[in-house]
Structures are given as C-alpha cells and as structure tokens.
Amino acid sequence: MMKKPYSFFAAIFSLLLANCTSAEQNKLDISGFGTLATATADTNKYQFRTDRSQAEFAKKDGFAYKPLSLIGVQLDYSVTSNLDFVGQFVYREQDEQNLDSITQMAFLRYDISPAWQVRAGRLAADIFHFSDTRDVSIAYPWVKVPTEVYGIVPARSFDGADISYTAPFSDFNLSIKGFWGSGESDFTSGDYSPITFNDLRSLGIEFVAFDWSVALKHTQTEAKNDNADSAFVSTSVAQLQPFWSGANAFADSLSLRGATIQYTSLYFNRFLGDWDLSGELSYIDSDSIALRPSFNGFLNLSYLYGAHTFYALYSFAEADPYYLSEEQPGFPINANTAELAIFVEEVASTLAHRQQSFSVGWRWDLRENLAFKAQVERTDIKARGTGLRARDGLVVDDEEGVAHTLFLALSFSF
C-alpha cells in the first residue's frame, strides 16, 4: 500500500525533471491535469459517490473532497517519428493505492501509415465516449461525467492492444477502432475485491465533422470471478440442491464467473452556434442474474456566452426490479432460507440501478487552463435502485427517495 502518495508524485516529478534535462528537445512532453472539487448533499440516506468503486462519499452536514478531487500527470515520449510512448498516472480516491492502480495509461503507439495506427499496453477503457478524458474535468462542461452512465463501470483502463483506421471524407472523418485485452474493476466499497474481465473485445465506429459527431461502440467480455459477497450467496444456494432440484442451475445463473457481458453505447453531439446538444445511450446485459439488462443515458444542452458556459443535464439508469418469488417460484422460502432469499435478491439488485438526475450548472473559464464550475443536481431514486449511491444496509431494503447535491470545482491543466 502506498502510505504517502504525495511523496510518490514528488519522486515522479523529480525523475521527470531529471529526464527533461537529459532528453533531447521535443522528445519528451510532460503535461497534467487535476480537479479540486467538493460536494455536499441534503441527505444522509442517499449519499453521493462518483462511481461503484468508491468508499468516499458526500452526505449532509459537510463537504467531501475525496469523491471528485484528483491529480494526473501525462508523459509523451517520441521514440521515432512514427513511434512514441504515452504514460498517464492519476491519483484519486480508490480502494487500492499503488503504482499499478494509479497507472491509467502506459502504451506504445505506432503509426503504420497516416490512416492506420496500433497501440499496445495499458489503454483507456474505450467503451464509452469520454473514455480518454473521463477524469480530465477541464475537457467537459460538467463537474463530473454523468454518474448514471459512467458510475456503473468503474474500470478506467485495460491491458491489451488496439488498431484504428481513419479516413477523411469531404464532410467528415471516419474512424474505426478494434481492441482486444483484459483488465479488472473494483465494484466494492472499502475492500479491494476486483472482478477480472478476460477476452475483452470492443469495436467502435465514429463519424466526426466540424459541428457534429456520432459514435457507436460495442464491447463484449467474460468475467473471471465473482466478488466475495456474490460468491458466498452462489455457494449457499447450491447447498439447497437436496431440497430443491433447481438449486445448482440457479446458483450458476447467480454467478458472474464465466458470464458473458455486453456493453453497447451510442454518442452524438451537435453544435448550433453557441448552443451544444449532446447525449449518450448505453445498454448493458449479461447471462448472469447479477448483471441484468440495464438501459442508461444522458442528454445535455449547453450555452456558451463568452467565458461562461451554462448547461442543463438529464441522465438516467433504468433496470427492472428483481423479486425472487416471481422469478424463481420453486425456490424454497422458509424460516431457514428467508435470510438467504434476501441475499439472492441483493445480488440481483446491486448492479440494477434505478434513478434519474436533473442538473443545472455553470462553468467559468478563468484562464485557458483553469475553470471554475458549480453544479446542482436533483436525483430521484426508485426502490431497489440505490446501488449508485453509498448506503448503509441492503439495496432491497431501500425505498424511493430524493437527493439534492451541490458540487463546486476548480479544474485545471498544466
């Protein structure tokens, strides 16, 4: 564990400065980004967190800095005219802090031709639009990317390789990219218990013009393991086989281990003078009850007035609630299995989020590389849909509710 992360960054900067001295000019480029942000809410029941991996959250009667604040450093080193190295290191709130966890990107990039490019190493998880800039707050108008779309998938990067093809046309540029690799993602809070994803394949196609863009991406992978809670419930259900003939099959369907997972996203953007309309829709599904079909998205309208951007944002996450008695009427519910039945519904509900948020915000560009942001968010949460929020107790016990959250942030680059 890294006890003194700031000492680590000091060492990184010292090393970089030393390299700068010895490196040839224009070989090494060092840049960075960061966010100093705080959040507070009007409730202790539905506490805000940035994504499913976070143990730190914002609640009533206080300002929380850890959920959104971070700092990152990026290195771009040119080896030859068509080969370079990119490394990106980000320190933020997460369950595990070490060199591996803060290394968000570390890859070699080779330009085969002006149209073809390959990259290999640790790459951003290119499953949605803001994959490369998810933590770079100065790159988008909001304080954070919409939680209903991005908070469900805490994975920032995967290890593997991609190949892309870009072709210009008269009115737009066409880009096609394919990726293959593996990685892991921590869905827990407080304990580091990541789920590993093998044989991850993604294919994306993007059309980009001066004032509009459209991107469609599809990703498929296989989960290698469950987290500790899901593994315990699945094993316990299998032990009911002497009393219920369907126990083993149902236990297998509860497990994420070996399950095929699919993620599809569609992004669009349109500039109309000083107005910007954008949105992203995503659909998640798997052959495990632990990750049932989920439809998510956001729609944003921004207005640019000089150095100021005003925006309104709507986002949602929707999945059907799971009731064991309806889905598995043969499950033996009695005094001995009542608690296990609740845990089964918890496994089926934890990743099935049900909420929608309305946000309004203001971004003020103080300088080219410094922006102040303020955002107020109202979130309507449905029963059995609070998995995106930090909470005490089980998701299946939660009722409908409303949470208001205030965010203030300084986003910068250097």
**In the block, residue with structure tokens 């390959």:** 118
Confidence at residue 349, expressed as pLDDT on a 0 to 100 scale:
92
Most confident of the ranges 53-57, 180-184, 275-279: 275-279
Contact 8, 2 (CB under 8 A): yes
For range 166-181, the mean pLDDT: 95
- The three-class DSSP label of residue 147 is helix
Confidence at residue 186, expressed as pLDDT on a 0 to 100 scale:
78
- Provide the percentage of residues in the chain whose pLDDT is more than 90: 70
Position 149 confidence tier, pLDDT thresholds 50, 70, 90 = very high
Helices (H), 166-318: 228-238, 247-254
Confidence at residue 58, expressed as pLDDT on a 0 to 100 scale:
79
Answer yes or no: is pLDDT of 20 > 70: no
CA distance 319 to 327: 15
Beta bridge partners of 373: 363, 409
Handedness of CA 21, 26, 28, 31 (dihedral sign): positive
**Over the chain, what is the mean pLDDT?**
90
Task: List pLDDT tens digits, range 47-93.
Answer: 888 888 877 777 787 888 888 999 999 999 999 999 999 999 999 88
For range 35-54, the mean pLDDT: 89
Q: Could you tell me which of 279, 280, 281, 296 has the C-alpha nearest to residue 351?
A: 296
Confidence at residue 21, expressed as pLDDT on a 0 to 100 scale:
53
Tell how many helices (H) and how many strands (E) occur in the chain.
7, 16
Neighbour-count burial for 312-342, b at 16+ CB within 10 Å, e otherwise: ebbbbbbbebbebeeebeebeeeeebeebbe
Contact 233, 290 (CB under 8 A): no
Confidence at residue 19, expressed as pLDDT on a 0 to 100 scale:
53
The interaxial angle of helices 247-254 and 228-238, nearest 10 deg, is: 170
Task: List pLDDT tens digits, range 80-123.
Answer: 999 999 999 999 888 888 888 899 999 999 999 999 999 999 99
Beta bridge partners of 116: 165
Task: List pLDDT tens digits, range 116-143.
Answer: 999 999 999 889 899 889 999 999 999 9
For range 329-344, the mean pLDDT: 91
